[in-house]
Amino acid sequence: MPEKKIRVLIAKPGLDGHDRGAKVVARALRDAGMEVIYTGLRQTPEMIVEAALQEDVDVVGLSILSGAHTTLFPRIANLLKDNGLDDVLVLAGGIIPDEDVPALNELGVRGIFGPGTSTEKIVKFIEEEIGKR
């Protein structure tokens, strides 16, 4: 039966080793019927974008709790653009202070899901956004 699946890349940029949230979200998305490619830890922006390109994902989810998002996210956003991937839905989770959110939105991060977000909310968001396309 031919079927389109939503393909999601879940990535851990930088040195941050806290992968509990990334793995929980990955499982939740799988249980919602999506194909989730998990990159593992210690990904450089280059590795993340390369994976997004090769896997032809609809969504890139970045999980980061170390505070290094201010440096790493702009690099990732630029590389996505350089590689013609700016139609990919970019989401973020982890520890991202409210004051940083507007700048990230500017970069193209469409959804920021901090501590306390229910996995259902993330699933719904993705399904709605991808559904629009």
Partner 1 sequence: MKLVERLLTGDRRAIARLITIIENDGAEAQEALAALYPHTGQAHIVGVTGAPGTGKSTLVNELAKVYRKRDRTVGIIAVDPTSPFSGGALLGDRIRMRDLSGDAGIFIRSMATRGSLGGLARSTADAVKVLDAAGYQTIIVETVGAGQSEVDIAKAAHITIVVEAPGLGDEIQAFKAGITEIADIFVVNKADREGADRTAMALQMILDLDHSSHLSSQTPEWRPPVCKTIALHGEGVGAVVEAVEEHAAHLRESGNLQRRERERIERELRSIITQEMTRSFFERLDEAQFDSLVDSIIRRELDPHSAATILLKG
Partner 2 sequence: MFEKEKLAEIKEELDKWEETTLQKTLNRFPERRDTFITTSSAPVERLYTPLDIAGLDYERDLGFPGQYPFTRGVHPTMHRGRLWTMRMFAGFGTAEETNARYKYLLEHGETGLSVAFDMPTLYGYDTDDPQAEGEFGKCGVAVSSLADMELLFDDIPVDEITTSMTINSPAAVTWAMYIAAAEKRGIPMEVLGGTIQNDILKEYVAQKEFIFPPKPSMRLVVDTFEFGARHLPKWNTISISGYHIREAGATAAQELAFTLADGFEYVKAGMERGLDVDEFAPRLSFFFNAHNDFFEEIAKYRAARRIWAREMRERFGAKNPRSWWMRFHTQTAGCSLTAQQPENNIVRTAIQALAAVLGGTQSLHTNSMDEALALPSESAVRIALRTQQIIAHESGVVNTVDPLAGSYFVEALTNRMEEEAYEYFRKIESLGGMLGAIERGFPQREIAESAYRYQREIDTGQRTVVGVNDYLTEEHVTIPLLEIDREGEQRQRERLARVRRERDNELVAQRLEALREAAQGTDNLMPYILDAVRAYATLGEICGVFREVFGEYREPVIL
Interacting residue ranges for partner 1, rule: CB under 8 A = 1-5, 7, 26-27, 29-40, 42, 44, 46-47, 50-51, 53-56, 83-85
Q: 79 is in the binding site of which of partner 2, partner 1, none (Cβ under 5 to 8 A by kind)?
A: none
Mask 79-108, x = binds partner 2 (CB under 8 A)?
Answer: ----------------x-x-----------
Taking every pair of Cα atoms in the chain, the longest distance, rounded to a whole number of angstroms, is 46
Give the span between the Cα atoms of 79 and 70, in whole angstroms. Answer: 15
Q: 20 is in the binding site of which of partner 1, partner 2, none (Cβ under 5 to 8 A by kind)?
A: partner 2
- How many residues belong to the site for partner 2 (CB under 8 A)? 30
**Radius of gyration of the CA atoms of the chain, in A:** 14
Establish how many alpha carbons lie within 13 A of residue 8's alpha carbon, considering only the half-sphere containing its beta carbon.
29
Q: 130 is in the binding site of which of partner 1, partner 2, none (Cβ under 5 to 8 A by kind)?
A: none
Decide: helix, strand or coil at residue 84.
coil
Contact 40, 16 (CB under 8 A): no
Q: Could you tell me how far CA 98 lies from the centroid of its own chain?
A: 18
Compute the least distance from the CB of residue 47 to partner 2, in Å.
Answer: 12
